[in-house]
Amino acid sequence: MDPFLSSLRNRRAQIQARIEREQARPAPDSLKLYGLKKLKLRFREQIEYLERLNREGQATVPPVIRRRSFTPAMARPRA
């Protein structure tokens, strides 16, 4: 199995465990749950994409997800 694919599955399982822990709390944080579920969905989509490429016999090139840097408007230098 592809090590990248197995690491994605492992990370998705970790996110699922965090979701379950949050839901088990007496008062779960709905925003936190929403974010965790969206993250889990992104992992699932990446896993399905890579599996589809493997079935079609295409080379597996993992998609790179980069974080955007955020600079508040007030901190930007004025032109």
* Cβ neighbours for 2, distance < 8 A, ≥ 6 positions apart: 50, 54, 60
pLDDT in tens, 2-61: 788 889 999 999 999 999 999 999 999 999 999 999 999 999 999 998 888 888 776 555
Q: pLDDT class for 66, splitting at 50, 70, 90? A: low
- List the structure tokens of 23: 């839901």
Rounded distance between C-alpha atoms, residue 56 and residue 65, angstroms: 23
pTM here?
0.67
Structural element, H or E, at residue 10: helix 3-24
Task: Evaluate if residue 79 carries a pLDDT over 60.
Answer: no
